[in-house]
């Protein structure tokens, strides 16, 4: 079954509507469905049955959307996938409570995993969920810190983005009965795929097309996020440019658009785009190398292609 069909079959026409409508709205807003796709591909790679992995695949998509819902409240993000976010369309309390319920719904779906696989799948899921919250906290912490290193940034995005992709692959493979070594290789593939994905996200936040990308451009610049772009610029800049960059970031008197324009001009001058593209290519290649010892079939080819497409995405 197509993953979008499976998601559309989840029934949210339940009472109280105020709790479930925002969940339906969030899940109907599309997105790449990357996480359940990875779980299904990982299972298929090892000849697993789709029906066995589908509950976990759906759990991951619902959990991912829960994190977006709460992140958007915390980041005051107004637009997601081209539509108003839940806290804008409804209010903060709705976003909090329906988000909580989405996390519970993820666990409900997960609990449908076959009993002999459930304990391990649940433990991995809990670990992944914890790491995502830790990553989000580091992200918040770093906004008010001036000395964030690139290593800290990479660890933060590993937690915030990569572990969910890694978990999807690991869980899909495990349910399909893959050996531990292959499962670990797939997990590692997911980690590097995630790193490439997030650096691409940082790049698109500066150089993306608003309509294609589905969210406002320059958000990271405005909230002072220690993105790959900013950290690279801080590292590459000479004394004068560094001063200029810090002044622009600290300015409270400029229009948002003007601030984004000024900081982007500095990124242009430092050719930060090139560093991001290099890093994306490197992580994509590392991800693909992790596939080397896995079963040589068309699914492995799909995973390779997916990594390459991700590195070239515009949304």
Question: Which is nearer to its own copies, 18 or 47 (by Cβ)?
Answer: 18
CB of 143 to its own copies, least distance (A): 11
How far apart are CB 101 and its own copies at their closest, in Å? 4
- If the CB atoms of residues 111 and 314 are measured against its own copies, the closer one turns out to be 111
CB of 149 to its own copies, least distance (A): 15
Closest among 60, 286, 290 to 186, alpha carbons compared: 290
**CB-wise, 85 or 188, nearer to its own copies?**
85
- Applying CB under 8 A, which residues contact its own copies? 15-16, 18-19, 70, 73-74, 92-93, 96-97, 99-101, 103-105, 107-108, 111, 115, 118-119, 122-123, 126, 129-130, 133-134, 136-138, 140-141
Output the smallest distance, CB 278 to its own copies, in A. 29
CB of 2 or CB of 51, closer to its own copies: 51
Return the number of the residue (107 or 207) whose C-beta is nearest its own copies. 107
- Long-range pairs, 29-32, Cβ under 8 A, ≥24: 29/80, 29/81, 29/83, 30/81, 31/65, 31/81
Q: How far apart are CB 15 and its own copies at their closest, in Å?
A: 8
């Amino acid at each position: 079954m197509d993953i979008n069909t499976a998601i559309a079959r989840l029934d949210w026409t339940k009472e109280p509507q105020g709790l479930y409508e925002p969940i339906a709205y969030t899940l109907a807003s599309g997105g790449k469905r990357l996480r359940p796709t990875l779980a299904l591909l990982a299972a298929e790679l090892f000849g697993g049955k789709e029906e066995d992995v589908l509950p976990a695949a759906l759990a991951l998509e619902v959990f991912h959307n829960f994190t977006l819902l709460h992140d958007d409240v915390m980041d005051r993000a107004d637009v997601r996938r081209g539509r108003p976010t839940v806290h804008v369309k409804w209010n903060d309390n709705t976003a909090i409570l329906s988000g909580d319920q989405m996390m519970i719904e993820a666990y409900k779906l997960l609990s449908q995993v076959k009993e002999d696989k459930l304990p391990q799948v649940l433990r991995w899921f809990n670990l992944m969920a914890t790491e995502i919250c830790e990553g989000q906290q580091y992200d918040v912490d770093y906004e008010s810190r001036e000395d964030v290193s690139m290593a800290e940034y990479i660890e933060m995005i590993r937690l915030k983005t990569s572990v969910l992709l890694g978990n999807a692959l690991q869980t899909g493979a495990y349910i399909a009965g893959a050996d531990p070594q292959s499962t670990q290789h797939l997990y590692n593939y997911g980690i590097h795929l995630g790193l490439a994905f997030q650096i691409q996200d940082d790049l698109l936040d500066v150089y993306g097309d608003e309509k294609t990308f589905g969210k406002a451009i320059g958000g990271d610049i405005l909230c002072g996020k220690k993105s790959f772009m900013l950290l690279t610029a801080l590292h590459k800049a000479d004394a004068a440019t560094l001063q200029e960059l810090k002044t622009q970031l600290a300015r409270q008197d400029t229009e948002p658009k003007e601030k984004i324009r000024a900081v982007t001009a500095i990124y242009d001058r430092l050719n930060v785009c090139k560093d991001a593209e290099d890093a994306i290519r490197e992580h994509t290649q590392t991800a693909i190398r992790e596939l080397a010892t896995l079963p040589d079939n068309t699914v492995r080819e799909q995973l390779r292609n997916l990594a390459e497409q991700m590195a070239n995405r515009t949304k």
